[in-house]
Amino acid sequence: MRRNKPALIASASALAVLLAGCTGESATSTGPAGGGTTKTAKDTLTLGMSADIQGWDPSNQPSYQGWAGEAAWDTLVKCDAFGKPEADIADKWSITEDNKSFTAHIREGMKFSDGTPVDSAAVEATFKYISAHGGAQADYEGIKFDTPDPQNITITWPEPQPMIVTRVCNPKVTTKAILDSGKVNDTPVGSGPYVLDTAGTTRGSVYAFTKNDQHWNAANYPYKKLVVKVIESETATVSALKTKQIDGALITPQSYNEITASGLKVQMMQGQTTRLLLTDHLGKKIPALGDVRVRRAINMVFDREAMVKNLYQGHGKPSYQIFRPGSDAYIEGLQDPYPFDVAKAKALMAEAGYEKGFALELPTMAGQNHEKLMPYVTQQLAQLNITVKQVPLSGANAIGDLLSGTYPVVFWQLGNLGQSLQDIDVVVRSSGYWNLMHQPDATVDKHWKQIVTGDAAQKKAAQQEINRYIIDQAWFAPMVNPDGFYAHSPDVTVDKVSDVEALTPKLRDFK
Amino acid sequence: MTENPRRGVLVRLLRNPQGAICLVYLLLVVLVAVTSPWLAPTGPSVTELDATSAPPFTAGHLLGGDGAGRDILSRLMWGSRQTVLACLIILAVSVVTGVLSGLAAGFYRGRFEAGASFVADVIMSLPGVVLLIALYALTGPNIPVAMAAFGLILAPTYYRLVRSVVLGVRNELYVDAARVVGLPDLRIVGRHVLWAVRAPVIIQSSFVLASGIGIEAGISFLGLGDPAAASWGIVLQESFNGIYNNPTAVVWPALVISLTILALVLLGNALSDVLQASARSKPLSPRARRAVLKAARREEVEEDSILVGSSDDVVLSIRALRVAYPVGGEIREVVHGVDLDVRRGEIHGLVGESGSGKSQVAFSTLGILPREALILGGSVLLGGDDLLEDGVKMRAARGRRIAYVPQEPMSNLDPSFTIGKQLAYGLRAVTSLSAQQARERLVELLTRVGINDPGRVMGLYPHEISGGMAQRVLICGAVAADPDVIVADEPTTALDVTVQAEVLELLRELSRERGLAMILVTHNLGVVADLCDVVSVMKEGRIVERADVETLFESPREAYTKELLSSSRSVELMEIQP
Amino acid sequence: MALTLLKNLVRSLAVLLVVTFATFSLTFGNGPGIARAVLGMNARPEDVQREVIALGLDQPLLVQYGNWLKGALSGDLGASFYTGQTVTNALSSRVPVTLAIVVITLVLTAALSVLLGVTAAVKGGWVDRVLQFLSVLGTAVPAFIVAIVLVFAFAIAWRVLPATGYVSPEISLSGWLASVTLPVVALLIGSMASAAAQFRTAVLDTLSRDYVRTLRARGISERHVIFRHVLRNSAAPGLTVLSLTTFSLLGGAVFIEQVFALPGMGQLANQSAQINDVPMVMGTVLVTIVIVLVVNFLGDLATTVLNPKARTR
């Protein structure tokens, strides 16, 4: 699972993001500076990327803006926007009922870019490597392989894996030779739809690829060449988009008007939910939070409509649940369970015996939009006499501190996932790293058990139960689903975003 | 100026409009910082969603709202608290560190001084902000610590200042005297040196605070500040981030920061005017200069009654020359109507104590008075032309017909050019000689002034020759263009006694050989007796007595001349004694 | 002369060691934090511990610094903890951006401030007064505020130049010029103001020298006195002014890069310091000091060449 990467990048280049998000937007057209090259359709796709990739180690590839990785490598199966499997290296697959084993048949005739065949040995080597390298090692602990022949492989986990598809769709399959060579970070060896063109590539700024015509799915990758350019500054990105130096890039709300006014298209994505995480459900650290009335009262002091309108300039929707619309856990047609009502909230606090409020430390970090949102959050909580002290986190320890449980309440613009199981695993379950206090909860555990063992329908029902439960218990105070923006040239079609994180279109979405 | 410099610094500062305005503004900032909890319209983080990115002059939000819906005016008022705090920290750390280490280094010298100076050099040559950024990795967003670190980075400016002042003061009598009396070192430092360094430190502090405010705003702007706090830099950063939504919001913090820094810088300048008001004169503004000269000319109409005594062999004639300098707002006249004639072949001595105005007369004849000098009236007549009246004629005469031999030979040669080059430049500027011809002429002349190996000497730089040789070179430069008059300003004062005699002899010979007229400015009556034909005695800008050299020495009329003669003899006696 | 230069060289190396060691000590001691941040949120403690060892962050301070120094001596500055990009690679793209801005500004500062400083000193009068006033103003307002004002005026109100961002000259020369214009102007105003004031002082100082009076008395025209003698003798203090200007430009560039979102060294230093990316921080500090020392060295060399006393000794 590569969930961690976008968050890390967000903090790693916190300043760049902050800056891009804020200073961005060229107010002028720089003229056709170097642009204006005529381009025959479906010739070259040039994408802008706001942060460089971290070399070619397959265990260290971002899913956020991960186009270079998607170009170079295939995966056993691909995950769609809701985490459902699609064919890739495996043309046929099956999952055991206990969710422990994934059996795949490897497509015949596939070859890596070094000419060696894609076989079960390569898949095994890849998964072994992933289980010992990078940040997702825990997800592959104790896996076993069964490779009866080069075309068939079964991967087995010691414990049931409700998200077995997610586990399988992430590792980028490469050869044992390159993994053993010690030069795994230097160059990609994969069977992906494109092959790295080293002559046209300058690490740190431009990655060029030529199409792999032998790729099994070549028809769905219409461009003969792919170029990924690292453009860190938002303004440079906008100006490159306008001068057609690039065909697509992520932009921030500030550039939205500029981009649409210049005839470029924008694909909206709603991959985040701005929320308070109230993880001290048992009131271990802050006794008041152990009272559900206090958590509900907190939910009532935020004017979600006004937040969207003023703090997000209308780019977003009010949100009442933490899950992605359309995902299994999402409850369609849910009314606002805690409408904005400060008086009622105060009454609830009084009822719970906390009319005097309590003190709360909220961590802040650069690049998280905190400077814009935190004042309002602070002020609204103050109406319940909850006095907020902001604690700025910085440096390498920031993420560690954030997740350490020191701060039972966190205000974050956290991603929501198409595969809501993953959200439940990470944010709701006591073992999830975003469940900061890791307090056990029998109800959640009970439903999770149903998820682990049940069939698809039972899984979905259990997820909805969990969602209802955490809404009722007010474990979170969801506020806004802010829009994300992917700007692209009208020559390029981006109809859908297959990203389970809904943060960027995937390479296969560009038509 | 008659004001007591120790008293009324504040009064004088307030009388200086620039200083007063700055001081009032800065006091206002401090006042706002102290009173913002009561005066600010809202708290620093009170948000009002409807005021998000509100333009200025909206109801209730004079300067508008920021991206989070907070009142910008209130945030700036609250922010001044952090600015004042940052200033105090920077000032305390840098002054304490810099002054103490400077005192120690200047007073005790030795290894401590070497080490401290090395550290100071290193710190001063590094871009401080890079160090602050590295520090951030350790401390996180902590403005007080960053400001303390910046104080250390600025400390070397105090260190250098104090050290140099202490070095100067250290050897002065009063410190020595104090040491003789047996005061402990610390008390010496405390009583005398701190008193001596206080003015430069106060002035420096003003500039240090200015850069402190800049850096506080700057590092907040870089994102190294605490985002939850209200500070000018944070407000600026937030406004800049939202510049497309609310462009005018950046104006206010930018204005407040710039004005405060400007006020500190201007206050520093005003302070240095007030505290270091020296007796050195500064050039008048062109308008004031014209007004002074016009007024002087009006007076002159009545005064200028002396007829130009023209005798055939008078080469240079100075008439009613008046020279003045602007000093501290008034015009101080230093030469009060001097008349002087020099005849062909005559050496005319101009004697007087230093400050009597004799050099001013000499410089006037050459038109080389300092820029701030004012010639209030009079004329310098050369062959019937008034050189003071006509700049073109003055330039034409200078170097060609009137030449100059200066007092201090070493400082009167351009250190960057060889002897040959600078002599040739001068010669070719006033003649139409080719480079080759000029060289030949100079070789010849250098031989004449007593330089044995002119070819080699011409290739040397001034620092490579002796004082006596330098004076010969300068004399050579003066006579090269074959002038009619030489103005020699104390030509032997800076030389060894033996060399003095040789140079005087040379001047006498040249005068005779070429029929040169010479004005010899000197305070040394021995030289006068040795060389001059006629002597004019100057006192306080006037010629008090004029006579043949024999007459003057045998029967001086004026009491002042007598006094001069007797003191001169005693000085000579002292010089003779080992 | 050679001895003086050698002494300077030894001194420079000492500075290099002192400052890099000081910086290294500042960033030292956060191995687990860094490893955790590198691995991401999902990492287990044992993974973190393994990563600490893999990054060599479990070693004592002196050993780590020694390793860094050894690498640095052989031209290997290591790689970013986070992106794996080698420091030399990152610097090779970042340093030219900063240097371009600093060097262009420096050249313009040199040309314009000499012109202004000499004019003010020689002409005196109202020219001098106006220039002095402007110089106080220009020196007082910090460069990043000038930059913000420029962005506000040119990019937002009048919309004539790009507000922020950097276009590399290989992509488009005109785009590059457009993208460096405002940053250069922002830096230039302050540096020019302060350098011009210092040049003015240097020229006034030279003008007050005795030999200038003597040269005038010798009948040399004012033009020649100024251009041949005064300027020549003001060159050494002028060089000192320029080398100090270089240092302040390097510092100012950090802010300017932030305002204009230029991918320069200052941005790299700032971003890396915020996430404890020690190799990157060390790399930027090292390059900065090397630039400072090289400029110092060149300054000393030029002063030596200019000064006949030092040259002929």
DSSP string, C196-208: HHHHHHHHHHHHT
Distances (CA, A) of B87 to B92, B96, B123, B158, B207: 8, 14, 20, 16, 11
Partners of residue B398 in chain C, C-beta under 8 Å: 216-219
3-state secondary structure of B52: coil
| Of the candidates A294, A314, A288, A270, the residue with the CA atom closest to the CA atom of residue A413 | A270
Q: Are strands B485-489 and B517-522 parallel, antiparallel or unpaired?
A: parallel
| pLDDT tens for each residue of C274-297 | 778 888 888 998 998 888 888 888
- Residue C159 pLDDT greater than 90, yes or no: no
pLDDT of residue C152: 79
What is the C-alpha to C-alpha distance for residues B469 and B499, in angstroms, rounded to an integer? 9
C261, A20: Cβ pair inside 8 Å?
yes
C232, B416: Cβ pair inside 8 Å?
yes
- Tell me the residue ranges of DSSP E strands in chain C: none
Angle, vertex CA B564, rays to CA B562 and CA B565, nearest 5: 65
- Tell me the residue ranges of DSSP E strands in B485-541: 485-489, 517-522, 534-539
3-state secondary structure of B461: coil
Q: Average pLDDT of C86-110? A: 90
Q: Are strands A44-49 and A225-230 parallel, antiparallel or unpaired?
A: parallel
3-state secondary structure of B560: helix
Q: Which two tokens stand for residue A149?
A: 């022949």
Dmax over CA atoms of chain C, in Å, equals: 86
Tally the C-alpha atoms within 13 A of residue B379's C-alpha that lie toward its C-beta: 19
List the subunits that have 3+ CB pairs under 8 angstroms with C: A, B
- The alpha carbon of residue A105 is apart from the nearest alpha carbon of chain C, in Å, by 30
Residues 6+ apart with CB under 8 A from B227: A364, A366, A370, A371, A374, A390, A392, B141, B234
Nearest to A396 among C37, C84, C165 (CB): C37
How far is residue A338 CA from its own chain's centroid?
27
Highest mean pLDDT among A261-270, A293-302, B417-426, C88-97: A293-302
Within 10 A of A55 (CB to CB), how many other CB atoms are there? 19
Give per-10-residue mean pLDDT for chain B (578 aa): 52 81 92 89 83 82 84 90 90 92 82 86 77 77 86 90 78 58 61 75 87 87 79 87 79 92 89 65 70 73 47 80 80 86 87 83 85 84 81 83 85 88 86 87 86 88 87 86 86 78 84 86 82 88 86 84 75 49
Share of chain C above pLDDT 70, in %: 96
A15, C39: Cβ pair inside 8 Å?
no
Model confidence at A171, in pLDDT bands (50, 70, 90)? very high
Range with lowest mean pLDDT among A165-169, A310-314, A335-339, B225-229:
B225-229
Model confidence at A297, in pLDDT bands (50, 70, 90)? very high
pLDDT of residue A15: 30
What is the C-alpha to C-alpha distance for residues B295 and B302, in angstroms, rounded to an integer? 12
Partners of residue C23 in chain B, C-beta under 8 Å: 131, 134
Q: Average pLDDT of A64-71? A: 94
Model confidence at C266, in pLDDT bands (50, 70, 90)? confident
Q: Average pLDDT of A298-304? A: 95
Residues forming beta bridges with residue A266, ordered by sequence position: A487
| Of the candidates A94, A116, A117, the residue with the CA atom closest to the CA atom of residue A107 | A117
pLDDT of residue A39: 42
pLDDT of residue A32: 35
Residue in chain C lying closest to B489 (CA): C214
| Of the candidates A122, A113, A120, the residue with the CA atom closest to the CA atom of residue A191 | A113
pLDDT of residue A38: 40
Instruction: Please answer whether residues B442 and B448 qualify as being in contact, where contact means their C-beta atoms are separated by less than 8 angstroms.
Output: no
Sequence length of chain B is: 578
Partners of residue B251 in chain C, C-beta under 8 Å: 152
pLDDT of residue C138: 87
Residues 6+ apart with CB under 8 A from B223: A15, A18, A366, B237, C258, C270, C274
Q: Which two tokens stand for residue B220?
A: 């907040």
3-state secondary structure of A106: strand
Q: Average pLDDT of A347-374? A: 90
pLDDT of residue A248: 94
Interface predicted TM-score (ipTM) of this complex, two decimals: 0.84
**Type of residue at A432:** G
In order, the DSSP letters of B246-272 are -GGGGHHHHHHHHHHHHHHHHHHHHHH
Range with lowest mean pLDDT among A40-44, B438-442, C149-153:
A40-44
| Of the candidates A7, A3, A63, the residue with the CA atom closest to the CA atom of residue A365 | A7
Partners of residue B243 in chain A, C-beta under 8 Å: 23
Within 10 A of A6 (CB to CB), how many other CB atoms are there? 20
Within 10 A of B303 (CB to CB), how many other CB atoms are there? 13
What is the C-alpha to C-alpha distance for residues B389 and B373, in angstroms, rounded to an integer? 15
3-state secondary structure of B166: helix
Partners of residue A392 in chain B, C-beta under 8 Å: 140-141, 226-228
Q: What is the pTM of this model?
A: 0.80
| Of the candidates B363, B471, B488, the residue with the CA atom closest to the CA atom of residue B408 | B471
pLDDT of residue A35: 36
| Of the candidates A324, A321, A322, A323, the residue with the CA atom closest to the CA atom of residue A334 | A321
- Residue A7 pLDDT greater than 50, yes or no: no
- Tell me the residue ranges of DSSP E strands in C91-130: none
pLDDT of residue A31: 34
| pLDDT tens for each residue of A120-142 | 999 999 999 999 888 788 889 99
In order, the DSSP letters of A172-193 are BP--HHHHHHT-TTT-----SS
What is the C-alpha to C-alpha distance for residues B149 and A272, in angstroms, rounded to an integer? 40
pLDDT of residue B479: 83
Which of A:256-285 have CB within 8 Å of C? none
Q: Are strands A85-87 and A152-156 parallel, antiparallel or unpaired?
A: unpaired
Q: What is the mean pLDDT of chain A?
A: 87
Model confidence at A101, in pLDDT bands (50, 70, 90)? very high
pLDDT of residue C201: 86
pLDDT of residue A213: 92
C219, B371: Cβ pair inside 8 Å?
no
pLDDT of residue C312: 60
pLDDT of residue C277: 86
- Residue A19 pLDDT greater than 60, yes or no: no
Instruction: Please answer whether residues C245 and C133 qualify as being in contact, where contact means their C-beta atoms are separated by less than 8 angstroms.
Output: no
pLDDT of residue C218: 83
Interface test with A, best of C26, C34, C38, C42 (most A CBs within 10 A): C42
Q: Which two tokens stand for residue A348?
A: 């609830």
pLDDT of residue A290: 94
| Of the candidates B241, B239, B247, the residue with the CA atom closest to the CA atom of residue B55 | B247
Residues forming beta bridges with residue A278, ordered by sequence position: A409
What is the C-alpha to C-alpha distance for residues A190 and A293, in angstroms, rounded to an integer? 54
Q: Are strands A144-149 and A152-156 parallel, antiparallel or unpaired?
A: antiparallel
- Residue A24 pLDDT greater than 70, yes or no: no
Q: Average pLDDT of A90-108? A: 93
**Considering Cα of C177, then C181, then C183, then C184, what sign does the dihedral take?**
positive
B403 Cβ under 8 Å from any chain C Cβ: yes
- The alpha carbon of residue B239 is apart from the nearest alpha carbon of chain A, in Å, by 10
What is the C-alpha to C-alpha distance for residues C250 and C235, in angstroms, rounded to an integer? 22
Helical H segments across B398-453, by residue range: 419-430, 435-448
- Residue C238 pLDDT greater than 60, yes or no: yes
Q: Average pLDDT of A66-94? A: 94
Residues 6+ apart with CB under 8 A from B255: none
Within 10 A of A147 (CB to CB), how many other CB atoms are there? 16
Q: Which two tokens stand for residue A217?
A: 């799915």
Q: Which two tokens stand for residue A1?
A: 């699972």
